[in-house]
Copies of this chain bind each other. A is one copy, B any other.
Amino acid sequence: MSEAPPAGVLTVDLDAIVRNFRLLAERVLPVDCAAVVKADAYGLGLAEVAPALARAECRSFFVAQLAEGVALRKILRRAKSNATIYVLGGLMENERALFEANALVPCLNDLGQLEHWATFCRARGQPLPCALQIDTGMNRLGFPAADLDRLAAEPKRLVGVDLCLILSHLACSDEADHPMNRRQLGRFRAALDRLPHCRASLAASSGMFLGREFLFNTVRAGVALYGGNPTPNAPNPMEQVVQLQGKILQVRDVDRGETVGYGATHRFTRPCRIATVGVGYADGFLRSLSNRGSAAIGGVTAPIVGRVSMDLLTLDVSAAPPELVRPGAMVELIGPNRGIDDVAAEAGTIPYEILTALGPRYERRYTGGAASSE
């Protein structure tokens, strides 16, 4: 924002993202591993993350929205990559020219969208690439059963388009034993049987760990690239990518019986030392962490006391090494002692939301990325 010293510093380790990508890509070989970089690469910066992945020979990217695809195409061009970009959100009729101009592959979600694309291809006299997304139970995006029936009965609807991928998305893949996984696998196989032969994709980060029958031809690595645990009930096989530090603005001693923060929701039962840190919910450090989250100072846990406010949070630093508790010192909000899965659990959400909520006021520092050029 300016040369002003920041109140929070977000460090993104691009090499760790690349190592996570390679770990997953090797795990699924010979299946292709694509990278999901929607929502500004899960909040970590599309302009930095995508070139690092492209240099690591990632050949396929997934985004959610057309505008994200347009931005990513520019970024990849600058990085001298001509990787494929899929747009998961589907296609509106008025978006077709922009898809073509930016060489984006729409994931068509119903017969109407397919018809829009086929008409466009015929008018252009060119079979432009597209994917078909099949709904297998998520009920969010993708061909409904009735549309699939009609398409299976009338395969000529695909004439003129270049169908390059058929995909679907699992609703419960983070729970390996959930019956929904096998049910969706069965439905996806049945759909593939009724459609022209084509490359297929079902698994995202967690789906990759459900067994090889879930892998098909392409997997879509998302949260795992960014350090999220794709196997929430087992140790995290991924490397942490993000560190978030917040600056101590003030330190004070409080007496037994005093309260802290809005609503006076925390009352001290003994004399304590507290530190006020310049990070709040306007920085995406969710207000649900009030009285539940914590920071680490020299490896010691410092619990959040009172409510997280817009620009500030307060920590009980009584147990922290006193020499590290001074105005201007940085505390660890996310890092080696405070993984994004830990923070998410304390906030009552998932690590995805911790990442995408990371706010605009942090100074963002990127490490690595370039060294992974070949």
Establish whether residues A90 and B250, one from each chain, have CB atoms under 8 Å apart when the complex forms.
yes
Asked, given contacts A67-B6, A311-B64, whether A139 binds B259 with beta carbons under 8 Å apart, the answer is: yes
What's the dominant secondary structure at chain A's contact region?
Answer: loop
- Smallest CB gap from A110: residue in B: B250
In the complex, identify which listed stretch (A192-200, A237-245, A281-289, A365-373) lies at the interface while the others stay far away. Answer: A281-289
The reply on A15 being an interface residue by CB < 8 A is no
Establish whether residues A284 and B139, one from each chain, have CB atoms under 8 Å apart when the complex forms.
no
Establish whether residues A4 and B38, one from each chain, have CB atoms under 8 Å apart when the complex forms.
no
Establish whether residues B282 and A1, one from each chain, have CB atoms under 8 Å apart when the complex forms.
no
Q: Which of A109, A306, A353 has the most CB of B within 10 A?
A: A353
Asked, given contacts A89-B249, A92-B5, A250-B109, whether A357 binds B360 with beta carbons under 8 Å apart, the answer is: no
Neighbouring B residues of A254 by C-beta, 8 Å: 139
Establish whether residues A140 and B70, one from each chain, have CB atoms under 8 Å apart when the complex forms.
no
The reply on A167 being an interface residue by CB < 8 A is no
Q: Out of B69, B70, B109, B264, name the residue touching A172 (CB < 8 Å).
A: B264
Neighbouring B residues of A137 by C-beta, 8 Å: 258-259, 264
Establish whether residues A5 and B38, one from each chain, have CB atoms under 8 Å apart when the complex forms.
no
- Smallest CB gap from A90: residue in B: B249
Each complex incorporates copies of this chain amounting to 2
The reply on A274 being an interface residue by CB < 8 A is yes
Establish whether residues B287 and A92, one from each chain, have CB atoms under 8 Å apart when the complex forms.
no
Establish whether residues B65 and A139, one from each chain, have CB atoms under 8 Å apart when the complex forms.
no
Establish whether residues B261 and A139, one from each chain, have CB atoms under 8 Å apart when the complex forms.
yes
- Smallest CB gap from A350: residue in B: B287
Neighbouring B residues of A361 by C-beta, 8 Å: 39, 65, 67-68
The reply on A309 being an interface residue by CB < 8 A is yes
Establish whether residues A282 and B43, one from each chain, have CB atoms under 8 Å apart when the complex forms.
yes
Asked, given contacts A249-B141, A314-B139, whether A284 binds B65 with beta carbons under 8 Å apart, the answer is: no
Q: How far is the CB of A82 from chain B (nearest CB, A)?
A: 19
Asked, given contacts A98-B3, A282-B39, whether A140 binds B92 with beta carbons under 8 Å apart, the answer is: no
What's the Cα separation between A2 and B282 when bound, in Å?
Answer: 25
Establish whether residues B278 and A112, one from each chain, have CB atoms under 8 Å apart when the complex forms.
no
Neighbouring B residues of A259 by C-beta, 8 Å: 137, 139, 171, 180
Q: Which of A4, A68, A274, A350 has the most CB of B within 10 A?
A: A4
Establish whether residues B287 and A349, one from each chain, have CB atoms under 8 Å apart when the complex forms.
yes
- Smallest CB gap from A99: residue in B: B4
What's the Cα separation between A276 and B217 when bound, in Å?
Answer: 27
Neighbouring B residues of A50 by C-beta, 8 Å: none
Neighbouring B residues of A140 by C-beta, 8 Å: 260-261, 276, 306, 309, 312, 314
Establish whether residues A95 and B274, one from each chain, have CB atoms under 8 Å apart when the complex forms.
no
What's the Cα separation between A357 and B347 when bound, in Å?
Answer: 15
- Smallest CB gap from A175: residue in B: B263
The reply on A253 being an interface residue by CB < 8 A is yes
Q: Out of B92, B98, B284, name the residue touching A327 (CB < 8 Å).
A: B92
Neighbouring B residues of A216 by C-beta, 8 Å: none
Using a CB–CB distance below 8 Å, which chain A residues touch chain B? 1-7, 38-40, 42-43, 64-71, 88-90, 92, 94-95, 98, 109-110, 112, 135, 137-141, 144, 171-172, 175, 178, 180, 249-250, 252-254, 258-264, 274, 276, 278, 280-282, 284, 286-288, 306, 309-312, 314, 327-328, 348-350, 352-353, 356-357, 359-361
